[in-house]
């Protein structure tokens, strides 16, 4: 486990030792207010924050306290649900958007369902049978959503007949309560909003059609959960959607900022220049293990001519040009905006919360390492 260099509250951010994941509380609150305000104005559509993106119960609490919140969160795995339902986090309404299939995990799932309002997504009839048997044996009722593949291709049953058949199986199963449907449209890094809206509609129309199919089949669809930070505005306007599962918006990342400039970067990796071996190159103490650059490299800000170019496990290389060749000497600090928030945050046990440039909290990333 990470052993952070604990510095006293009130310490200026530039005095924090590195590498450190720093969150600006003021910017985070603005982001939350902006997205919740855009979605939850009329109470027809609510925000169910997908908290795997940051893994941090302290941040989830800000999201749940904001207007337009569904009162619950979404997570990806059972272990994350356990972490967010734990005594320290205390969140009592959780949707597990991933699958829970092994016998050992299903036992943990029904145990958790006895303590909090818990629902889980399914895409397989055999899994429905296993969940039903366990819920029945444990004497609990488990909420179930049918996960529909809207084109991302990672999982989820096909829309239409397959989804209706699976929903019927859920509705008929003892111990399970059919609550509705969900989908994940996948990353949508489309900067042109007309195109983004069209692509969102193209992906969601089969899901909305399936909602109609389900209702015609006599099944009540209380929940239709879809959308993300990419497309929250258009999704929240669609008739038939009940909640938006956005996740990146409180902290943001470089990938999503290109599409959603109305939100701001609240999370940066603070790093120190540890070497400047030649004029055109500086080395920082932030590499793969610190920034999680699987999908793209983090973006350096504030030094024109300096670009974060390459990363090893522990180090990052800044290519320097023009005035930057004379800057970024050892001991200088830099900030890197992570390209993908979830993979960056998942490297840390703690977030340093900062307000007005000063340290105000160490927030545990309780979701980190909750792999199963």
Q: Which of 23, 74, 33 is nearest to 51 (CA)?
A: 74
371 binds a copy of itself (CB under 8 A): yes
The minimum distance between CB 91 and a copy of itself, in angstroms, equals: 17
User: Looking only at residues 145 through 174 of this chain, which bind a copy of itself when binding is defined by CB under 8 A?
Assistant: 149, 153-158
61 binds a copy of itself (CB under 8 A): no
Task: Quote the CA–CA distance of 282 and 274 in Å, as a whole number.
Answer: 8
Binding mask 256-295 for a copy of itself (x = CB under 8 A): ----------------xxxxxxx--x-x-x--xxx-xxx-
The minimum distance between CB 192 and a copy of itself, in angstroms, equals: 24
111 binds a copy of itself (CB under 8 A): no
- Beta-carbon neighbour count of residue 342 at 10 Å? 21
Cis omega before residue 78 (within 30°)? Answer: no
**Which region, judged by CB under 8 A, interacts with a copy of itself, from 37-45, 100-108, 192-200, 256-264?**
100-108
The minimum distance between CB 240 and a copy of itself, in angstroms, equals: 23
Q: Where are the beta strands (DSSP E) in the chain?
A: 20-24, 46-47, 73-75, 93-96, 117-122, 142-148, 176-183, 223-226, 243-244, 267-278, 281-284, 299-300, 306-311, 316-320, 333-337, 350-355, 358-364
Residue 166 is inside which H or E element, if any?
helix 161-172
307 binds a copy of itself (CB under 8 A): no
What are φ and ψ of residue 119, in 5° steps? -135, 160
Contacting positions for a copy of itself (CB under 8 A): 1-3, 5, 17-20, 52, 76-77, 79, 82-83, 98-99, 101-102, 104-105, 123-124, 126-127, 149, 153-158, 272-278, 281, 283, 285, 288-290, 292-294, 310, 312-315, 317, 329-331, 340, 342-343, 346-349, 368-372
């Amino acid at each position: 486990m990470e052993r952070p260099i604990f510095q006293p509250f009130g310490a200026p951010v530039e005095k924090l030792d590195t590498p450190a994941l720093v969150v600006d509380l003021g910017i985070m609150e603005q982001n939350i207010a902006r997205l919740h305000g855009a979605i939850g104005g009329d109470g027809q559509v609510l925000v169910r924050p997908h908290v795997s993106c940051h893994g941090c119960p302290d941040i989830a609490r800000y999201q749940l306290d904001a207007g337009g919140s569904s009162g619950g969160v979404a997570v990806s795995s059972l272990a994350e649900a356990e972490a967010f339902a734990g005594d320290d986090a205390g969140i009592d309404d959780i949707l597990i958007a991933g699958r829970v299939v092994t016998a050992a995990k299903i036992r943990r799932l029904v145990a958790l369902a006895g303590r909090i309002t818990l629902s889980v997504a399914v895409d397989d009839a055999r899994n429905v049978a296993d969940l039903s048997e366990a819920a029945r044996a444990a004497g609990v009722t488990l909420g179930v959503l049918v996960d529909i593949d809207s084109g991302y291709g990672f999982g989820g049953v096909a829309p239409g007949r397959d989804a209706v058949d699976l929903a019927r199986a859920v509705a008929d199963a003892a111990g399970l309560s059919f609550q509705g449907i969900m989908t994940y449209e996948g990353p949508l890094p489309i900067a042109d909003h007309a195109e983004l809206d069209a692509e969102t509609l193209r992906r969601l129309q089969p899901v909305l059609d399936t909602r109609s199919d389900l209702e015609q089949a006599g099944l009540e669809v209380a929940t239709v959960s879809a959308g993300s930070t990419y497309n929250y505005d258009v999704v929240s306007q669609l008739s038939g959607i009940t909640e938006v599962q956005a996740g990146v918006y409180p902290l943001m990342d470089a990938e999503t900022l290109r599409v959603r400039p109305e939100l701001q970067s609240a999370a940066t990796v603070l790093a120190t220049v540890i070497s400047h071996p030649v004029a055109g190159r500086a080395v920082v103490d932030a590499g793969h293990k610190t920034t999680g650059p699987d999908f793209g490299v983090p973006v350096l800000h504030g030094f024109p001519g300096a670009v974060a170019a390459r990363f090893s496990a522990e180090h990052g290389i800044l290519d320097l040009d023009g005035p930057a060749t004379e800057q970024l000497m050892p001991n200088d600090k830099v900030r890197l905006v992570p390209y993908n928030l979830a993979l960056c945050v998942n490297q840390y046990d703690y977030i340093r919360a900062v307000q007005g440039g000063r340290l105000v909290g160490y927030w545990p990333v309780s979701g980190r390492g909750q792999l199963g």
